[in-house]
Structure 1
Amino acid sequence: MPVLIENIIEIVNVAIEMMLVFLYFSLLSKAKVNKAVLYLSYLLSTVILSATVLLTDNILVYLITTIILISSMFFICYDDSIRHKIFWNILFLLIISISEPIVIGLLCIANMGTPDEFLESGLGRYLGMVGTNIIYLWLIGLMHRIINKKNS
């Protein structure tokens, strides 16, 4: 597959992941900034994370960038107590850390290859991207339902 198409797929994946982050935070807390600032922060975080994905192969750099972006977005754009902000951030990081092994396990069970092959490229990688985003969305919805039941 041409590099340009692979890069576009990576950028679209990052944009969807960041959209899910904003959905998660929007379901948990009220935005303290107007929609223009919210959209600008979404766009900026997508650009930063996309650049990180495209320019480095180091998973640690990607993880640290993700943690910094998610935390700073929530602390800057949403209104909640410090304790809740820290808790919601940690909870989302747990969602991330749970989703990827589930998808990798399912792909291994489906005999799509080894985990190392998924991380490299090809169909397994793209299925992993889609599967991870679906599980993110499912876990975000589940968290929202649990929290709404407790609040009501």
Structure 2
Amino acid sequence: MTPIQELSLRVAVLAALANKIAEADEDTRKALMTSLVGVGADRAAAVLPDGTKVASVALVGGAAVAKVVDEDAFLTHVKATRPDEVIEVVRPSYRKALLAQAAKNGEEIPGVQLRHGTPYLRNSFVKDGQAAIAAAWIDGQLSLPELLELPAPPGALGVDEEP
């Protein structure tokens, strides 16, 4: 094989693995989010088989956000409850404070829509966590095919498959 063919093969293999890893990552994140929400937790430790903590995975985001969706209704509300905060429009600092208050306590304000952001997972490696993962993989503590849920290669389980 020429050097260009070797590099081309490596690029192709790495791209295929990256795609599979991205797919496995997405599926695993969904499963973890469901599990965390199911038990009422917001984080979990990532621990190697030998007990070494390598990361903490936290459920973040999803905070309430208040947004004015009907300017007229919002202005009418503020005129009725805090006329000192109205000039021609709601003063920007009060608007910001009122929206923050609505997001914090779920208060319904005419003309304001309260919605929740989309929660997501944030992975934070502990010091030397990535190095510990690499060492565990090299030492055979971690199986890439198992982590990616890849089928075992033919003969890997001691059984030869027919072509």
> TM-score if structure 2 supplies the norm length?
0.26
Higher share in helix: 1
> TM-score if structure 1 supplies the norm length?
0.28
Q: Give the greater-gyration-radius structure (CA).
A: 2
